[in-house]
Amino acid sequence: MAGLSQRLWGVEFQSPVLLASGTCGYGAEYDGLIPLDDLGGIVTKAVSLEPRPGNLPHRVAETPGGMINAIGLQNVGLKRFRDEKLPWLDEHLTKAHVLVNVVGHTVEEFSTVVAGLDDATGFLGYEINVSCPNVKGGTLFGTDAKALSELVRRVRQTTARPVIVKLTPNVPDIAVYARVCEDAGADGLSTINTFPGMLIDVEARRPVIGNVSGGVSGPAILPMGIYLTWRAAQAVEIPVIGIGGIRTAFDALQYVLAGASLVQIGTALFVDPNAAVDVQRGMAAHLESQGVAHLSDLVGAVELPNHA
């Protein structure tokens, strides 16, 4: 699959396909199930300073065309992640790259997690999850341009590793937030996180999800993900990772044509753990059938009509 490799942030990704944060645990959960080390990489579950127990059930439910989740960023916290989870990744993934998804309540907390991991081995860089409340301002980091800029600047000062900011789709114009991240020193963007949603159990007259609302993901969000990835990629020079609703190679290729250099697959893994492996195989087959030597020839290659 030589045509699929991508050189980004000073390293070679053997494939553009990564597993999305929160859908592959810390990697070990997929051990023996799929050939993890043959993928482009994985993004870990969010890591916060202290362990988080997550929300009360139900935490997930099926929706037409996908799922809704409100896990509540349950995770083992910085110390256990560093002591127990990273060594496994370091030992088992020699070709696939690892991005650590980082979450915090404050700029300080993000920066402390990054500083606490930075000299460890077993990962390439960080994916900063800004779809979380900023305790200081009360808004989400990702919907408040000032807070977002401050956060990215601080993380940038804390590490020389790649800093990729995972944007929320819940903003009027994602291009504005993409530029804020680039100007603050981000090395890349991941687009997109989940959309807010709610389901109601009609007979019980109660929300299905314990947290009342949750994030919607899966095939239902594919067109929004492609559009927002295209908008973001148009606005910046830094690489973009396309996320949202990918199930097939053609889904992934749409993100690439829209401007994504890499893609991530999440919800589809719950239907078929092999989805990511199949997607990368299908992408390679497409390149061959179209006589395209290299995937990078397709990045951002969507041709718009003259009247657009």
Ligand X SMILES: Cc1cc2nc3c(=O)[nH]c(=O)nc-3n(C[C@H](O)[C@H](O)[C@H](O)COP(=O)(O)O)c2cc1C
Name the DSSP class of 21: T
**167 exposed, middle or buried (CB, 10 Å; 0-12, 13-18, 19+)?**
buried
Candidate segments 111-119, 148-156, 231-239, 244-252, binder of ligand X by CB under 6 A? 244-252
- Which residues, in sequence order, are CB contacts of 304 under 8 Å at separation 6+? none
Candidate segments 89-97, 114-122, 179-187, 241-249, binder of ligand X by CB under 6 A? 241-249
Angstrom distance (rounded) from CA 178 to CA 162: 16
Name the DSSP class of 263: E
| Sites for ligand X among residues 135-154 (CB under 6 A) | none
Per annotation, catalytic residue among 42, 103, 124, 132:
132
> Does position 175 bind ligand X by CB under 6 A?
no
Q: Are 71 and 56 in contact (CB under 8 A)?
A: no
User: Does the active-site annotation cover 24?
Assistant: no
Other CB atoms within 10 Å distance of the CB of residue 274: 14
- Which CB sits closer to ligand X, 113 or 289? 113
Q: Please identify which residue in the block is written with the tokens 């960080």.
A: 126
> Does position 197 bind ligand X by CB under 6 A?
no
Identify the three-state secondary structure at position 193: coil
Residue from the set 1, 28, 61, 71 that interacts with ligand X by CB under 6 A = 71
Provide the strand spans (E) within 178-280: 188-191, 195-197, 200-201, 206-207, 214-217, 240-243, 262-265
Q: Which residue is nearest to ligand X, using beta carbons?
A: 22
Residue from the set 16, 188, 245, 259 that interacts with ligand X by CB under 6 A = 245
- Which CB sits closer to ligand X, 3 or 65? 65
Site string for ligand X, 9-28 (x = CB under 6 A): -----------xxxx-----
Per CB under 6 A, residues contacting ligand X are: 20-23, 45-46, 67, 69, 71, 73, 101, 129, 166, 193-194, 217-218, 221, 243-246, 265-268
Task: Give the active site residues.
Answer: 132
